[in-house]
DNA sequence: TCTAATTTTGTATTCATTACAAGTTTATCA
DNA sequence: TGATAAACTTGTAATGAATACAAAATTAGA
């Protein structure tokens, strides 16, 4: 029997204990915000997260959403996505890392796998790289199909 | 004798005609802003550009800097760099493409060469990629030296 | 030169984000 | 359990980057 859980399975099981493992107190608001990010891999803005949760948590303040996301970013659970627009977007940070693709037609943002290690060049070896981000702009498969 | 000029040489020679080639009227303000971006590959903010030019062009308005940069971005002469902070940064767009490296210690942003074609994976072949951006966060060679 | 089109400029406005302080909840320990 | 401190949440006010807009200035074409 395989008792070893991978990252995804662990997340599904128990967000509160995951947060505590990361040194974050598992308040109701934080759990619900993290859960929302897990279930909505659409790179939501603060406003989108707030609007989605306000009916369930009537006391919720936008400031709490900001505070929580900034905490998650600081603790490296969540990544800021600044692919476009004036609003910051947020995405669960997975250990493997992935890139983002912004469709200029339907405006959706996709996660795309990226062979990040292949990016490195000789020149970069002089630097100590702690994090890397890749994003693309273009037209997604769905829109390409619609166009043809 | 070699009369073929590469991109860099062409730029040095004649910004006004370069702008006109790109379908942009070569006003004094636009020339000076483009020239500033050429000579200062430090990914400046609007405020930095404005402050650098205001003594030479006392009539200059921040709105003009915004307008001009948005025009340059639209015409694909200049690239928006959103590697950090709340202010947009701007960088001359070179045809080869390059990545950016943000030093967490000295806060400078470096241009780094990137083997962009190696990033592409099978999954991405379904997408029509029009532009790609890569950036890194870490510690630059200078700061690594200082630390040791 | 005259007129229309384009560009620049200054001011007012928008809106995402942060600052801050008060209120609420949670943890700790006697 | 109850008292006290610490941590978290909330609402309001403030900040500041970016845009909207209209008037003034400049440029282009006839």
pLDDT in tens, B75-127: 999 999 987 788 999 999 877 778 888 888 888 888 888 776 666 677 778 88
CA distance linking residue B33 with residue B20, whole number of Å: 15
Extents of the domains making up chain B: 7-92, 99-147
**Which H or E element spans position A136?**
strand A128-139
Distance from CA of B13 to the nearest CA of A (A): 29
B89 forms bridges with which residues in the sheet? B45, B81
- Using the Cβ of B118 and the Cβ atoms of chain A, whether some distance falls under 8 Å is answered with yes
CA distance linking residue A106 with residue A77, whole number of Å: 28
| Closest nt by CA–C1' to B61 | C9
Dihedral, A11, B119, B132, A127 alpha carbons, nearest 10: 80
Going by C-alpha positions, the residue among A117, A96, A112 that lies closest to residue A41 is A112
Q: Could you tell me which CATH number the domain at B99-147 has?
A: 3.30.1490
Q: What is the DSSP letter of B76?
A: T
Common-topology check for domains B7-92 and B99-147: no
Q: Determine how many CB atoms are found less than 10 A away from the CB of residue A129.
A: 16
| Closest nt by CA–C1' to B47 | D17
Query: What is the predicted pLDDT for the residue at B114?
Result: 78
**If you classify domain A7-92 with CATH, what class do you get?**
mainly alpha
Which of A112, A124, A127 has the CB atom closest to B124's CB atom?
A112
Which of A101, A119, A127 has the CB atom closest to B118's CB atom?
A119
pLDDT at A18 over 70: yes
pLDDT at A27 over 90: yes
Mean pLDDT to the nearest integer, A68-88:
92
- Using the Cβ of B139 and the Cβ atoms of chain A, whether some distance falls under 8 Å is answered with yes
B137 neighbors A130 (Cβ within 8 angstroms)? yes
Token pair for B102: 């943000």
């Amino acid at each position: 029997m395989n008792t070893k859980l991978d990252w995804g399975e662990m997340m599904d099981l128990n967000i509160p204990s995951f947060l505590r493992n990361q040194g974050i107190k598992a308040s109701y608001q934080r759990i619900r915000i993290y859960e929302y990010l897990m279930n909505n891999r659409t790179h939501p803005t603060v406003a989108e997260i707030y609007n989605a949760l306000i009916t369930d948590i009537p006391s919720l303040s936008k400031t709490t959403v900001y505070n929580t996301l900034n905490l998650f970013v600081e603790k490296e659970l969540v990544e800021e996505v600044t692919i476009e627009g004036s609003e910051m977007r947020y995405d669960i940070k997975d250990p493997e890392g992935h890139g983002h693709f912004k469709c200029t037609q339907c405006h959706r943002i996709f996660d795309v796998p990226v062979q990040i290690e292949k990016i490195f060049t000789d020149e970069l070896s002089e630097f100590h790289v702690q994090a890397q981000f890749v994003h693309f702009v273009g037209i997604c498969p769905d829109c390409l199909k619609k166009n043809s």
